[in-house]
Amino acid sequence: MTATLIDGKAFAAKVRAQVADYVTKIKAERGEAPGLAVVLVGEDPASQVYVRNKGTQTLEVGMESFEYKLDAATPQEELVALIQKLNADPKVHGILVQLPLPAHLNSDLVINTIDPAKDVDGFHISNVGLLGTGQKSMVPCTPLGCLMMLRDHHGSLAGMNAVVVGRSNIVGKPMAQLLLGDSCTVTIAHSRTKDLAAVCRSADILVAAVGRPEMVLGEWVKPGATVIDVGINRIERDGKTKLVGDVHFESAAEVAGAMTPVPGGVGPMTIACLLANTLTAYCRTKGLPEPKGLTA
């Protein structure tokens, strides 16, 4: 292997420590703590694990955690009413509705009910529009984590060719906006892109967020490129369940200059950035200085 590993686990621990320090200061000076409300509808096992981890880590940095677990058959009006209650609650500074929602619920309508100032996922159309026009916004957690690692590794990203494989609203599109904001030349590619391998080979920064196990091969990677693997895929191999990314790690690590592993790369950064966003939302609401290095 020739690539330097970008240690997301260690980076996430640093981000959480920075958040925790600021929260300690807030508690001492103001006698209150930022609060994050997480709403889970239904019993999707992966979502249950995420929500539990979010709650635990929220408490670990000293914030207040409010969890709402609703029945899978919860009517839309009930979910909307809960979000409106959280919007009005002064102890709640961040609201996250875990996706995907059960099919009978309109995710767009639900997300757009969240007060944009409390939208710590950055999914509300106001925040999407603010990010797209280069204005201050809440930024989706996973791409924010990727950006932090890239800035830490490279310093300035200006002028670099960035290719984002994947066009989801949660990762691909906001990732492209963030890289553009840092003056990269950005291409958004996807499963229907012609000669995807050649497009990927043009990248100084290659972000894989397609949700297909080990799709990006070493021969798609430009020598020395930085590869950020957003994928988390469970596969069966040799009779065991294994976690792999969207990048074929062994072959890509022979070519890349730097690379995030799976697990231990992008994954831990997502919750760390959720906590950072909750702190940022709190600071903006209260007119306090924002934490340094934790926003786009």
| Interaction site with ligand GUN (CB under 6 A) | 96-99, 121, 141-142, 170
In sequence order, what are the beta bridge partners of 70? 41
Instruction: Give whichever of 16 and 248 is closer to ligand GUN, judged by the CB atom.
Output: 16
In the complex, minimum distance from the CB of residue 64 to ligand GUN, in angstroms, rounded to a whole number: 19
In the complex, minimum distance from the CB of residue 279 to ligand GUN, in angstroms, rounded to a whole number: 17
- Reply yes or no on whether 98 is catalytic: yes
Closest residue by Cα to residue 181 from 156, 149, 207: 156
Closest residue by Cα to residue 10 from 244, 267, 282: 267
Instruction: Give whichever of 49 and 73 is closer to ligand GUN, judged by the CB atom.
Output: 49
In the complex, minimum distance from the CB of residue 141 to ligand GUN, in angstroms, rounded to a whole number: 5
Active-site residue, from 57, 98, 182, 246? 98
Active-site residue, from 57, 115, 119, 121? 121
Decide: 178 and 228 in contact? Cβ < 8 Å: no
Task: Give the residue closest to ligand GUN by C-beta.
Answer: 99
Per DSSP, which regions of 26-93 are E strands? 35-41, 64-70
- Reply yes or no on whether 76 is catalytic: no
Peptide bond into 102 cis (omega under 30): no
- Reply yes or no on whether 119 is catalytic: no
In the complex, minimum distance from the CB of residue 76 to ligand GUN, in angstroms, rounded to a whole number: 17
Instruction: Give whichever of 10 and 49 is closer to ligand GUN, judged by the CB atom.
Output: 49
Distance between CA atoms of residues 203 and 224, nearest Å: 10
Q: From the centroid of its chain, how far is CA 152?
A: 16
Instruction: Give whichever of 98 and 260 is closer to ligand GUN, judged by the CB atom.
Output: 98
Q: Could you give phi then psi for residue 39, rounded to 5 degrees?
A: -115, 125
Computed from CA positions of residues 174, 17, 280, 136, in that sequence, does the dihedral angle turn out positive or negative?
Answer: negative
Q: Which residues are catalytic?
A: 54, 98, 121
